[in-house]
Amino acid sequence: MTNIVTIDNVEDLRAALFEHRCARESIGFVPTMGFLHDGHASLMRAAAAENDVVVASIFVNPLQFAPDEDLDDYPRDLVGDTALAREAGVHYLFTPVRDLMYPIQPVATTISVGGLSEGLEATTRPTHFAGVATVVTKLFSIVGQCKAYFGEKDFQQLAIIKRMVIDLSLPVDVVGCPIIREPDGLAMSSRNTYLEGADRTAAAVLRRALDAGVAAVDAGERDPQVVMSDMAAVIESEPLASLDYVAAVDAASLEIPSTLAGEIRLLVAAQVGRPRLIDNCGVRI
């Protein structure tokens, strides 16, 4: 367990990190929207294992929510988040308010990453990734040179951030970390708290759909349409789940190839009760 300092303004955080840089200490950074769970903790533990100093941020970013999404209801628990971050090895917890991050509203400058930001999640959330890219760029600017840790559950987001860092020559090494799952296979997510009763049981169908896709590939199937059909059938067999999309894509381009080969990512999104859930897994051919 570490001592943890909570900072809510840019100047104090930059000053604290400047001291560590002068001491030639490496910095790990974990950006979050709070309501932390063990998936977030795994990122923080990875950062602590590889760096001298760990910074985590908690900011529920309004730019990545559509008008009909759950910005106001998004779960928040700063006391619990602080305790979890402390246990996971975080030294600085950055907790800016909206007016600090976006002092002039509406925001006039946004970051857009072409290609990777199209399709999949962007089909139903067209403004989401511009909001993500913008806030992550701001956070990288505030924290400075670092290793930044992101979970692979948001695989499209991870790909976008990696490309953005390359395109903008940002002094950040982006590290993708494995998905952390519940015992029944459900990927951990802050929105899982919305699941109740039968919906919580039904949510495990996302992992079963991915397992069906992996089984098809392992059996020799190389037609992505067949693999996706197998995955969709599993989701559609669950009455409490409403399929959004399934995809079998090249892991680098996020495009559906004519024939599956190399590093492939299977992805699924579905509505189960109140929350819309996403999951994915990788397969190598």
Q: Would you name the residues annotated as active-site residues?
A: 40
Burial label, 169 (beta-carbon count in 10 A; 0-12, 13-18, 19+): exposed
Nearest to 122 by CA among 226, 278, 240, 273: 278
| DSSP 8-state code for residue 179 | P
- Contact between 210 and 266 under an 8 Å Cβ cutoff? The reply is yes
Distance CA 212, CA 232 (A): 9
Task: Specify the length of the chain in residues.
Answer: 285
Q: Taking phi first (over 0 means left), then psi (-120 to 50 degrees means alpha), and beta for anything else, what does residue 220 get?
A: left
> Could you give phi then psi for residue 261, rounded to 5 degrees?
-160, 150
**Longest distance between any two alpha carbons in the chain, whole Å:** 58
